[in-house]
Amino acid sequence: MSATNVAAPIDVEAATRTLFEAQRDRREIEPFTDTSTFDEKTAYAIQKKLVTKQVEQEATRIVGLKLGLTSEAKQKQMSVHEPIYGILLDSRYVGEGEPLAVSTLIHPKVEPEIAVFTSAPLRGPGVTPDQARKAIAFATPAMEVIDSRYKDFRFTLTDVIADNTSAARFAIASRRVPAANVDLRTVGVVFEKNGEVVSTAAGAAILGDPANAVAWLANKLAEHGESIAAGTTIMAGALTDAIAIAPGDVITVTVAQLGSLTLRCV
């Protein structure tokens, strides 16, 4: 056997502090897995500690959940081939019409999403897509601004989970559309930057059906003894690749039957 560098187990407290400070100070860091090893459970534990610290120190609160890497486009773009989830904080919400100050972030990218709102609790394991579909009361066009704290957005599955799945800002159209009469698999999605179409997709880009993503979330949360409460806002994950943004950019997502949402970057 040849000599190899055996990676050390991660220091959870130190990693939490590093991620907290990187986000606060807009400083990029190297991925932890370059030098240490940790499993998915530990990664979600770091994410939770990080968000708890942000809630305490920034006087904000948790307002929802987000899914990531639920589309083939995103999995390919990031070279991570499994969905992940993260937590949405009130202080990261960009209201409709509010400008996004790009300079408050490290290297932001924006991606087109669909947000859903539940009206019934979902507790895994064993939540089916049909149960998830019935729990989705409303849907709206949405956009997520991701800002990995890792240099060049280079990370492994556990790194990105620990970093609260690159969550930075999120925008959700204020008009909620009842989902009962909308087939979220077949709605067309058009993503535009400065009036040019950047990419297109259908709702089915999200694990075949956004309801599948919500079921996945409920079942994944169950692994950590958690569940989705009724009345939860969930970002279902990007439908196409994320794109870099700069001051002056105007980004629009249009989802058939749900409407559109514009984000102005300053």
Where along the sequence are the contacts to Mg ion (CB under 5 A)?
A: 144, 238
Q: What's the rounded Cα separation, in Å, for the pair 156 and 210?
A: 24
Q: Which of 54, 156, 164, 165 contacts ligand OOG by CB under 6 A?
A: 165
CA distance 45 to 30: 19
Q: Check binding of 237 to ligand OOG (CB under 6 A).
A: yes
> Of 13 and 90, which has the nearer Cβ to ligand OOG?
90
The least distance separating ligand OOG from the CB of residue 179, rounded to whole angstroms, comes to: 19
Residues 118 to 157 in contact with ligand OOG, rule: CB under 6 A: 144, 146, 148, 153
- Tokens for 68? 């990531």
Contact set for ligand OOG, span 21-80 (CB under 6 A): 68-69, 74, 78
Nearest approach, Cβ of 63 to ligand OOG (angstroms)? 16
Vertex 171: Cα angle to 106 and 152 (nearest 5): 25
Torsion sign across C-alpha atoms 124, 128, 131, 132: positive
- Chain residues 194-213 in contact with ligand OOG, contact rule CB under 6 A: none
C-alpha–C-alpha distance, residues 17 and 15, integer Å:
5
Per DSSP bridges, beta strands 188-193 and 196-202 are antiparallel
Q: How many residues bind ligand OOG (CB under 6 A)?
A: 15
Residue 22 is given by DSSP the state H
Footprint of ligand OOG (CB under 6 A)? 68-69, 74, 78, 111, 144, 146, 148, 153, 160, 165-166, 237-238, 242
